[in-house]
Amino acid sequence: MHYLTDRKRAQGTGAGRQGTHHHWQMMASSTGLVILVPLFVITFANGLGGTYEEVLAYYGRPFPAIITALTLVFVTIHLMRETQVAVEDYVHGTAEKLTLMAVAAFAYTVIAVGLFALVKLAL
């Protein structure tokens, strides 16, 4: 017979002490996206419909290139964090660890490829 209190029985099964930090990360990235997405839509719309040379010249300017790069990074990291939460909720064990690594690898690959393409376009 085990004489455990309710507190001792529940210990180790509660919060992982990561929720507040994750919440503030998501709030910060959401706030950044509220500013960046309209700026990106405006800059993208201004470059849309031009010839290839006009688009190259447009993204060769610093403002459109920086807005596009920041939007790419913010959106990808925000989606990666949201995907990690879904994986942590629904996948467990070794599959969880492998899926989290795959999600992070995919997100950072998307960022690297997107920034490389933007640099090639801008230069």
What is the full DSSP assignment across the chain?
-----HHHHHTTSS--S-HHHHHHHHHHHHHHHHHHHHHHHHHHHHHTT--HHHHHHHHHSHHHHHHHHHHHHHHHHHHHHHHHHHHHHH--THHHHHHHHHHHHHHHHHHHHHHHHHHHHH-
Residue 100 confidence (pLDDT): 96
Which tokens belong to 107?
């997100």
Domains of the chain, residue spans:
18-122
Amino acid at 30: S
Residue 8 confidence (pLDDT): 67
Residue with tokens 């509220």: 34
Residue 48 confidence (pLDDT): 92
Highest CATH level, class, for 18-122 = mainly alpha
| Cα angle for residues 34, 36, 38 (degrees, 5° grid) | 80
Which tokens belong to 69?
């790069």
Residue 22 confidence (pLDDT): 83
**Burial state string for 10-22 with b = 16 or more CB within 10 A and e = fewer than 16:** eeeeeeeeeeeee
Residue 23 confidence (pLDDT): 85
Written as tens digits, the pLDDT of the chain (123 aa) is 567 777 766 665 555 667 788 889 899 999 999 999 999 999 999 999 989 999 999 999 999 999 999 999 999 999 999 999 999 989 999 999 999 999 999 999 999 999 999 999 888
